[in-house]
C-alpha cells in the first residue's frame, strides 16, 4: 500500500522575521528553513538584517541558506507578498530601495492597515544612537558578538553530547548587565514615542534581538510595541492571525537531534499526559554509512484505525537525515471497517467542536448505519437511523477527537468530530 504524507502548514495572515544574519557563524539556517516550511502565510515581512553583509562568509553559506532563499521564492511564486525591509547589517541593499518584482519589494519601512489598526514596520537601526554617531564601534561590537556566538556554539555542541541543556552567553550578558538593559529600554521607549506621535496602533521592529509584545504608555498615549527577535539565539518570529499578534519560538529542546517519537494521552485535551517514548535510532551505528537507523524525525501523518489497512491506528514518520520512513502501530485494533469503494454519503455534523450534543443530519431519508469510535479507536456506539440523529453526553462522555462511520448500501463515509468538555 502506498502512503502519501501531507503535512498541513499553519495558515497565517502575516509573518515577521528579522535578524537572521544569513552568511554568519551564528545563523540558525536549518531551523529557519524548517519554520518556513511549516507555515502558509499571506504576507511575509523580512524586517532587516536578513543577509549579513558586514560579517558575510561564503564558508558559512550552507545548503540551508540556499533552501531558505528557495522557499521564499516558492512563496512569491504562489502569490505571497514578501517585503524586505533593509537593516544595518544589510544596508548595501538600500541602493535597491523601492524595487518591486512580482510581489517582492525592498523598502526602508512599511505601513499597513490591519483590520482597522495602523501598523508601522521598520528595522530600528535608525533610532540606535550608536549607529548614528559611532558606526565603527557598532561594527567592532558585531565582531565581538560573533566571537561570543562561536564560543557559545562550541560549548552547546559539547553540552548536547552530554545530554545537558543549551546555554546562551550573550543572552545572559544582555539580561544582567545594567547598561544593556538600559539600552534596550531606551530603544523601546524611543520607538514607541515616535509611533504614538504618528498615531500608530502597532510598531514592529527588530534590531535588538529581544522578542517582545507589550503595550507602552506615555503622557501622549499608548501603542503596542512588537519585536520579532532573531534567528541567532532566540529563534523567534511574529505571527498575525485572527486580528491578534503572537510570538512563535522554535523548539530547541533537542529531541529532533536525538531522535525518536514522544506520545501523549490526550483523552482529556486540557490535561495531556506522557504515554511513551520510542526511538528506532542505533546509537552504535555510523550515520555516514547508513547504519544508524532512523535519524531526525520531520514529517508526521496519523492514520486512524477506521482508515487503516490493518484496522489499527498508525503513525507514519519521515526522517530527514536518514531519508527513511517508518510506520508505528498505536492503540487498540478497531472492529473491521470496509474501505469505501463508491460515492460517499452527504451529511452535516454539528456543532463541531462540541461540549454538549452532536447531531448527524443526512441529505436523504435512507436508513443509514452510524458507528462511533472514541479517541482510543474503540467502538462506543452503533445504531441505524434516517433523516437525523443526535448523540448526547451519555454516549459522548469523553473529551477528545472522535471518529464516525456512516454506511448505506455500499456507500461509506468517515470523519471526525471533537468533544471539548
Q: How far apart are CA 72 and CA 139, in angstroms?
A: 28
The per-residue pLDDT for 166 is: 58
Query: 10 Å Cβ neighbour count for 221?
Result: 14
The per-residue pLDDT for 309 is: 81
- For each of the domains in the chain, give its residue range(s) and CATH number, in order of start: 10-249 (3.60.21.10), 255-330 (no CATH), 347-419 (2.60.40.3080)
3-state secondary structure the chain: CCCCCCCCCEEEEEEEECCCCECCCCCCHHHHHHHHHCEEEEEEEEECCCECCCCCCHHHCCHHHHHHHHHHHHHHHCCCEEEEECCCCCHHHHHHCCCEECCEEEECEEEEEECCEEEEEECCHHHCHHHHHCHHHHHHHHHHHHHHHHHHHHHHHHHHHCCCCCCCHHHHHHHHCHHHHHHHHHHHHHHHHHHHHCCCCEEEECCCCCCEEEEEEECCEEEEEEECCCCCCCCEEEEEECCEEEEEECCCCCHHHHCCEEEEECCCCCCCEEEEEECCECCCCCHHHCCCECCCEEEEEEECHHHCCCCCEEEEEEECCCCEEEEEEECCCCCCCCCCCCCCCCEEEECCCECCCEEEEECCCCCEEEEEECCCCCEEEEEEECCEEEECCCCCCCCEEEEEEEEECCEEEEEEEEECC
Closest CA to 118 of 193, 195, 44: 195
The per-residue pLDDT for 390 is: 93
- As averages over each run of 10 residues, the pLDDT of the chain (421 residues) reads 55 95 89 92 95 86 94 95 93 91 93 95 74 43 53 60 56 49 74 93 92 92 94 91 91 62 74 72 70 81 81 84 82 42 67 88 85 81 90 86 84 83 65
The per-residue pLDDT for 33 is: 94
The per-residue pLDDT for 137 is: 38
The per-residue pLDDT for 339 is: 39
Q: How far apart are CA 418 and CA 375, in angstroms?
A: 9
The per-residue pLDDT for 141 is: 47
The per-residue pLDDT for 144 is: 52
Which three three-digit cell numbers place residue 368?
443509514
Asked if residue 331 lies in contact with residue 312, where contact means CB atoms within 8 angstroms, the answer is yes
Amino acid at each position: 500500500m502506498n502512503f502519501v504524507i501531507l503535512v498541513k502548514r499553519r495558515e497565517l495572515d502575516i509573518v515577521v522575521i528579522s535578524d537572521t544574519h544569513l552568511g554568519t557563524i551564528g545563523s540558525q539556517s536549518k531551523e529557519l528553513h524548517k519554520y518556513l516550511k511549516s507555515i502558509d502565510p499571506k504576507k511575509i515581512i523580512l524586517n532587516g538584517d536578513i543577509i549579513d553583509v558586514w560579517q558575510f562568509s561564503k564558508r558559512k553559506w550552507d545548503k540551508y541558506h540556499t533552501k531558505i532563499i528557495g522557499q521564499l521564492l516558492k512563496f512569491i511564486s504562489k502569490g505571497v507578498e514578501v517585503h524586505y525591509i533593509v537593516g544595518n547589517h544589510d544596508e548595501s541593499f538600500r541602493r535597491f530601495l523601492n524595487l518591486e518584482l512580482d510581489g517582492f519589494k525592498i523598502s526602508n519601512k512599511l505601513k499597513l492597515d490591519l483590520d482597522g489598526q495602523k501598523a508601522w514596520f521598520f528595522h530600528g537601526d535608525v533610532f540606535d544612537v550608536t549607529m548614528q554617531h559611532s558606526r565603527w564601534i557598532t561594527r567592532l561590537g558585531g565582531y565581538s558578538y560573533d566571537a561570543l556566538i562561536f564560543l557559545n556554539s562550541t560549548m552547546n555542541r559539547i553540552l548536547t553530547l552530554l545530554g545537558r541543556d543549551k546555554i546562551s552567553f550573550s543572552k545572559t550578558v544582555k539580561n544582567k548587565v545594567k547598561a544593556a538593559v538600559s539600552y534596550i529600554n531606551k530603544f523601546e521607549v524611543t520607538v514607541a514615542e515616535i509611533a504614538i506621535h504618528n498615531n500608530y496602533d502597532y510598531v514592529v521592529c527588530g534590531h535588538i534581538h529581544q522578542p517582545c509584545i507589550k503595550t507602552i504608555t506615555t503622557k501622549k498615549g499608548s501603542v503596542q510595541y512588537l519585536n520579532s527577535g532573531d534567528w541567532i539565539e532566540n529563534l523567534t518570529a511574529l505571527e498575525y492571525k485572527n486580528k491578534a499578534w503572537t510570538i512563535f519560538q522554535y523548539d530547541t529542546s533537542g529531541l529532533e537531534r536525538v531522535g525518536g517519537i514522544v506520545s501523549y494521552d490526550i483523552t482529556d485535551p486540557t490535561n495531556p499526559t506522557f504515554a511513551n517514548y520510542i526511538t528506532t535510532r542505533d546509537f552504535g551505528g555510523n550515520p555516514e554509512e547508513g547504519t544508524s537507523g532512523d535519524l531526525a524525525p520531520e514529517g508526521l501523518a496519523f492514520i486512524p484505525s477506521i482508515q487503516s489497512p490493518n484496522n489499527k491506528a498508525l503513525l507514519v514518520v519521515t526522517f530527514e537525515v536518514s531519508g527513511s520512513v517508518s510506520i508505528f502501530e498505536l492503540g487498540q485494533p478497531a472492529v473491521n471497517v470496509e474501505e469505501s469503494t463508491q460515492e460517499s454519503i452527504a451529511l452535516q455534523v454539528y456543532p463541531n467542536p462540541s461540549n454538549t450534543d452532536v447531531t448527524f443530519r443526512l441529505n436523504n431519508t435512507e436508513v443509514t448505519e452510524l458507528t462511533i469510535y472514541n479517541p482510543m479507536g474503540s467502538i462506543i456506539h452503533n445504531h441505524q437511523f434516517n433523516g437525523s440523529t443526535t448523540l448526547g453526553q451519555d454516549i459522548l462522555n469523553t473529551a477528545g477527537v472522535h471518529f464516525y462511520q456512516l454506511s448505506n448500501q455500499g456507500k461509506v463515509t468517515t470523519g471526525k468530530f471533537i468533544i471539548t468538555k
